[in-house]
């Protein structure tokens, strides 16, 4: 049985004020400015270190920015949605100024876009009073399901999740358009756009600034059962050849810009750990690579208050779907290279081994 050793403080957020959207504040025009994502899913600041968020705790959601119609999902998972036409918001945008000849939206529900200056909300933020045990680890589905090549851009994402004894405020988010870098989600509301949908989640993500990502190449025919995690050196060692890390970074060491391991709020509004590995520029040839997510020991990170292990009952979320357009390379093929995530029995370490393969020859070309 999983036990909680922390208590929640101050997670009940004030009820929402109904905000009526007018024609003016319902416009869908683009400004060119991009603002950060709003927190839509509860988070626990497990080590007592927080991240800067849009909005304030307990705020009433502001929905004066751009919105789309949303009315469901197609069989292939793509959304049924459209932007309203600025000339007549009862129609989908036809892309032509001074006309409103687009289709009628398939439903009245509105969703307010992330990354808009005038759309601001904040889900529950929770503070720990005692050690926090992670219940679930969610590795990105793409690592577990798709092939990777020497010219791929490998997106390595991890989400830590803890079960809650009481619900914490969450906002209902809808997928509006795009996949990957172009993906956009929005805050669901009633048809008049006045009252955002709210939920109370039985789970929260966990933010620890002691988190680390390590990438190492494994030797050919390496007996991985003999590998040992060195928590002081933050790398794997063993009798078989294990190369020095080609990447080894902690969240607390991250600076602005690419090339660092960091925690971010994704477009769905969740706190995730993410790193984009440019294999083309950083590799040691085709072969097996181990991606390791770990929490540094107190010797390296004195604020450590977060723990997980198989012994503590932590489990891996199984992949539910394959994310589209996860690789930048043009090759295709059913070459198995995804791995299976593993949690160590007695340490806050989880890893996944993936194969990086040569470019696939297709129709006589490379």
Please report, in angstroms and rounded to a whole number, the separation of the first and last CA atoms in the chain.
53
Whole-prediction pTM value? 0.84
pLDDT at 178: 95
Q: Which residues contact 169 (CB under 8 A, 6 or more apart)?
A: 11, 12, 13, 42, 123, 124, 198, 199, 200, 201
- 287-319 in b/e form (b: 16+ CB < 10 A) is ebbbbbbbbbeeeebeebbbbbbeebebebeeb
Q: Where are the domains of the chain?
A: 24-131+163-202, 132-162+206-357
Convert the pLDDT of each residue in 309-339 to its tens digit.
999 999 998 755 433 333 333 332 333 345 7
Query: Are 308 and 160 a contacting pair, CB within 8 Å?
Result: yes
Provide the pLDDT for residue 142: 78
Query: Tell me, what's the pLDDT at 205?
Result: 98
Question: What is the per-residue pLDDT across 19-31, written as a single tens digit (0 to 9) for each?
Answer: 233 333 333 333 3
């Amino acid at each position: 049985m999983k036990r909680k050793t922390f208590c929640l403080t101050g997670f009940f957020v004030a009820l929402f004020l109904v905000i009526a959207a007018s024609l003016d504040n319902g416009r869908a025009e683009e400004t060119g400015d991009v603002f950060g994502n709003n927190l839509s899913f509860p988070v626990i600041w497990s080590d007592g270190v927080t991240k800067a968020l849009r909005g304030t705790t307990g705020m009433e959601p502001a929905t004066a920015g751009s919105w789309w119609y949303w009315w469901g999902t197609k069989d292939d998972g793509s959304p049924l949605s459209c932007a309203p036409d600025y000339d007549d918001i009862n129609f989908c945008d036809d892309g032509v100024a001074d006309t409103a000849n687009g289709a009628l939206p398939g439903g009245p529900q509105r969703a307010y876009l992330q990354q808009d200056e005038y759309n601001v909300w904040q889900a529950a933020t929770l503070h720990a009073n005692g050690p926090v045990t992670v219940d679930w680890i969610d590795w990105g589905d793409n690592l577990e399901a798709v092939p990777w090549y020497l010219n791929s851009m490998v997106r390595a994402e991890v989400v830590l999740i803890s079960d809650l004894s009481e619900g914490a405020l969450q906002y209902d988010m809808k997928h509006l358009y795009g996949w990957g870098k172009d993906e956009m989600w929005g805050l669901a509301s009633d048809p008049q756009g006045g009252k955002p949908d709210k939920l109370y989640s039985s789970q929260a993500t966990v933010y620890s600034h002691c988190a680390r990502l390590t990438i190492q190449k494994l030797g050919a025919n390496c007996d991985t059962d003999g590998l040992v995690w060195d928590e002081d050196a933050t790398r794997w060692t063993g009798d078989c050849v294990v190369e020095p890390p080609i990447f080894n970074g902690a969240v607390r060491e991250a600076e602005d810009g690419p090339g660092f391991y960091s925690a971010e709020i994704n477009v769905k509004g969740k706190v995730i750990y993410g790193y984009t590995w440019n294999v083309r520029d950083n590799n040691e040839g085709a072969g097996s690579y181990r991606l390791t997510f770990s929490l540094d020991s107190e010797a390296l990170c004195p604020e450590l208050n977060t723990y997980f292990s198989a012994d503590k009952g932590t489990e891996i979320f199984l992949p539910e779907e394959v994310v589209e357009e996860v690789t930048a390379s043009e090759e295709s093929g059913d070459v198995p290279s995804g791995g299976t995530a593993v949690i160590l029995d007695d340490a806050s370490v989880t890893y996944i081994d993936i194969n990086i393969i040569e470019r696939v020859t297709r129709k006589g070309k490379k």
